[in-house]
Structure formats: structure tokens, C-alpha cells
Amino acid sequence: MRKILIVGAGQSGLQLALGLQSRGYEVTLMSSRTADEIRTGRVMSTQVMFATALQIERDLQLNFWESQTAPIEGIGVSVGGPEGTRAIDWMGRPHGYAQSVDQRVKMAGWMETFAQRGGQVVIHGAAVSDLDYFSRTYDLVMVAAGKGELVSMFGRDASRSKFDAPQRALSVSYVHGLERRAEHPDLDPLYCNILPGIGELFVMPTLTTSGRADIVFLAGVPGGEFDVFGGVKDPALHLSLTLELMERHTPWEYARATKAELTDVNGTLAGRFAPTVRKPIGQLPGGGLVLGVADVVVANDPITGQGSNGAAKCAASYLASIVEHGDREFDGAWMQSAFDRYWQGARHGVRWTEAMLVPPAQHVVDMLAAGVEHPSIGDRFVNAFDDPSDLEHYFFDAAKMETYLAEVAAASGSNGS
């Protein structure tokens, strides 16, 4: 039986551990926190999972909370105009619904399941020296902890990383008491509010430790009006600042947030990081090699929702590569090939994220505006959250976009609408 060590108990680490465990591998999971510490700790992300990622969880029979979690069956896009107005506003429909389960709920539950099924959980904050020792006793060591000392083993890939500094100041609040928008009283959509020069405001339903809730997520241009959470430690002040910014810049969202209150004292998060692609192989002082997983090697800004989805896809891709490799050595060549296989899909999300972090090109503005009149444009665009590869066909090139928009307009005219 092949022995595998996974360091990190997030979406990718736990999904990979449970997937390998179900296929008969002897898996050890190393986490810096216990399941209870995760469950009672601070929120970690917004984690909206789209259709492909949700299906991966279903296939592994890990969708424990699906029936309890609100389905996100629409994705609304608004672009702010002058004095709190909306210059653009429409709703796109994804091919399959999305969902968000608080990672405190999911990761704690998955860790307990892994242990109940016979997996070994080691509660220890791993250092490079620890991995140097473990690399001699395991067939494969994978690092799925995207922060801290271990990440420094994986060098930045400058050829695949457009930015070397944070492009957004991030702020998250988990709240109860948020009402539905009047125009969509029967839906629990994900709303994307784009505020040129300021940043973005996302609002989405989630399942948290206290039941159904909503996430209010601000992504601010550094130094701009949304970049005010850096020194805020008090959760109540965090929410108060969030509501003030909503009232000033997105009054249509603030109107339903007047009764909002935090789900718990750990229901806020703020920070920033530079979106980065790293080399997938880390070399240990003793010569051993370790493979980076998900955010360790492809860390996208959350503006396009690729984080947890990319983690799920990375874990699924690595699982397939491991199983297909059989009893052969997990050497550097195999590690590179496993990453390259994942990168074939991940590169599309990276390119899209980079494009959304800079002021949009005119042809992108034209597309967003056309979505008001032509719902099919909005439907196609919002499905990029699930499959960004489709954007290669029209989104990045002005000429392709012009052709696409003309085709949609012509088809609409021929239909008499």
C-alpha cells in the first residue's frame, strides 16, 4: 500500500485525502488545527462552488450539505453609475446551480469523516524540516497549505504571474438578516457589483455554522475607498464600515441590509495577497521533492471565484494522475506532468482573473452593456465562473467580441425580438 502525506486541511488537501483513502491508499493528513478549532475559528473564504466543482464532490460522495444549502440559480451583474445609480444591470443563468458552504463547516466535517474512515490526522504546524524527515518515509508528500513557511519552497513563476503585488484589498462579512432584492424575491443569486475605479461588491447566500446566511464581500482597489479594513480588529466596526460603504456606493444592496448582523464574532475577514503562479515542485534540504497543490501553486485573486473551484479541480486532477501512475516512483518528472495536466485548465481562470483586475477594455464594457438587451450574452458570461475556457473564444479579443455581439444582435433581429 502506497503511503502519501498531505499537508494542509483545506478544500484541496481534504478532498484529495478522502479521494485517495477511498481508493486504498494509506494517507496521513497534517493540519495545524483540529476539526473543532476549524469549526469555531474565523471564516476563511467565500467559497462559491460552481457546477463542475460540485459534481466532483458528488462523485466522491462528499456533498454532505447540498440539501441544506441554498442553490444559486442566477448571477446578477451590475455596473455602478454616477451618484449611486446602476449604469448596467442584468441577471445571467448558469447551466447548473452553484452553492457556498462555510469552510468551517465543510473542512471540520470532512476532517472528522477522514479520521472516522481510518485516516491518520496529525495536528502539527509543519515546517520544512518536518517535511525533510517525512519525505524519507512516504512515497509522496504534497503541500496543500497555501500560507506560511512551506510556500516559500515553491518559486514564483514570473512567466505565468502578471502581478507581483496585491491588486485588491479584501473584506468579508458573514451576516444574518439580509433580505432578498425586491426584483428577485424567489431567488438566492450571487450578485456581482462592479464599481469602476473603486472595486467590487459581491453578495451571496451561504450555509454557515448557524444555518443559512449571506456573505458580503468587498474587493477594493488598493488605496481606494474600499481599502479601509487593514487595521480593523473589532467585528462590529468591520460590519459598520461595510454597511456605510454599501449605502454610499451600492444603495440597491444597502436597502436590503438594514437589519444585517454578523453571524458570529468570527464572521469577518480582511486581507490581501498578490495573485501568483508558482513552480509546482519544492526541493527539501535533504534532496527530497514535494508537490504543491491548488493555492500553493495557483493563487488567484477571488474576484472571479476561482479559488475553491480551482482547488477542487486540482485535487481531482492530481487524484487521477496518482491513480494512473500505479506503483511507479513519484519523481520530479511525474510531479511536473501532474501539474501540467492541471494547468491546462487552470490557465484559463488565471487569464480571466488577471483581465478582471485591471480597468476593462472597451469591448468588455460593450459586452456587459449588451447583456441588458440580450440575456444569452449574460448567460454565457456568467458560465465562465464554472468554465473559464469559453472566454478564449470571444472575451479577450476585440475583433472576436465584435463578431460575437453582431451575431447575437442579428439572431435577435431574425427572431423578431
Q: How far is CA 275 from CA 144, 156, 344, 354, in A?
A: 16, 10, 18, 8
| Res 152 pLDDT > 60 | yes
The tens digit of pLDDT for each residue in 76-121 reads 999 999 989 999 999 999 999 999 999 999 999 999 999 999 999 9
Q: How far apart are CA 7 and CA 28, in angstroms?
A: 8
* Torsion angle in degrees (nearest 10) through CA of 147, 43, 258, 385: 60
Mean pLDDT of 346-368: 97
**Residue 14 host element (H or E):** helix 11-22
Mean pLDDT of the chain: 96
Could you please state the CATH topology (level 3) that the domain comprising 3-63+102-161+276-356 is classified under: FAD/NAD(P)-binding domain (3.50.50)
Q: Do domains 3-63+102-161+276-356 and 68-99+168-271 have the same CATH topology?
A: no
- As a whole-number percent, the residues of the chain with pLDDT over 90 amount to 95
Please give the DSSP secondary-structure letter assigned to residue 72.
B
- As a whole-number percent, the residues of the chain with pLDDT over 70 amount to 99
pLDDT at 148: 80
Q: How far apart are CA 34 and CA 39, in angstroms?
A: 9
Secondary structure (3-state) at 188 = coil
The answer to whether the pTM exceeds 0.95 is yes
Query: How confident is residue 415, by pLDDT bands cut at 50, 70 and 90?
Result: low
| Res 412 pLDDT > 90 | no
| Res 416 pLDDT > 60 | no
DSSP 298-343: EE--GGGS-HHHHHHHHHHHHHHHHHHHTTS---HHHHHHHHHHHH
Spell out the domain ranges in the chain: 3-63+102-161+276-356, 68-99+168-271, 362-414
| Res 233 pLDDT > 90 | yes
Could you please state the CATH topology (level 3) that the domain comprising 68-99+168-271 is classified under: D-Amino Acid Oxidase; Chain A, domain 2 (3.30.9)
| Res 414 pLDDT > 70 | no
pLDDT at 355: 97
The tens digit of pLDDT for each residue in 189-225 reads 999 999 999 999 999 999 999 999 999 999 999 999 9
